[in-house]
Amino acid sequence: MENSIETVYFLENPEKNIIKFATGTQIRYEDVIKEVFGVACINDLHMMIQYNKNFQTSICNSHGISEKKITLDRVLRVASKLDMLHFKKQLMDQKKEGMDDEPLEVDLSIQRPFDSTIKLQEGIFRWDDNNFSYNAVKPGA
């Protein structure tokens, strides 16, 4: 499946304070939905949004919205470039935490978390090994 470009999704469960990034394939074939939300599938997530009062309240508090404005995309949506920058910072911070006893001149590189080319809200992005981040692919490039 090298020809297809994976879309990266942002999943958030504000009730349990969980934020996770996953590809469409991971959402379909792994237990990512269960891991983040505690339900088996996206259809169950719709039910959770509709009937779980604590979950509704946590979404409202997290996003500063009323119950009437709760939609699935508040907790599961295509990730944005800004989301990925926050994710990069999180990965860098995790790596730093694991190196408390290491010398100051330690390699802070991070591994590519997804395929080398991914799709985000803003378009197609390609991994840059020099900056350890995804950069936008210019049309026609």
Write down the pTM of the prediction. Answer: 0.86
Q: Both 20 and 56 in a single domain?
A: yes
SS3 (DSSP) at 12: strand
Cα diameter, the chain = 52
Q: Which domain holds residue 106?
A: 81-136
> What's the pLDDT tens digit per position in 16-34?
999 999 999 999 999 999 9
Residue owning tokens 């979404």: 59
Domains held by the chain: number? 2
Average pLDDT estimate for 105-109: 63
51 or 97, greater pLDDT: 51
Considering the domain architecture, whether residues 72 and 85 belong to the same structural domain is answered as no
Number of C-alpha atoms within 13 angstroms, CB side, residue 95? Answer: 12
Q: DSSP string spanning 2-38?
A: TTS-EEEEEEEETTTTEEEEEEHHHHHHSSHHHHHHS
Q: Which of 78, 100, 119 is a domain's end point?
A: 78
Whether residue 1 is contained in a domain is answered as no
Same domain for 119 and 72? no
pLDDT at position 14 = 96
Mean pLDDT of the chain: 89
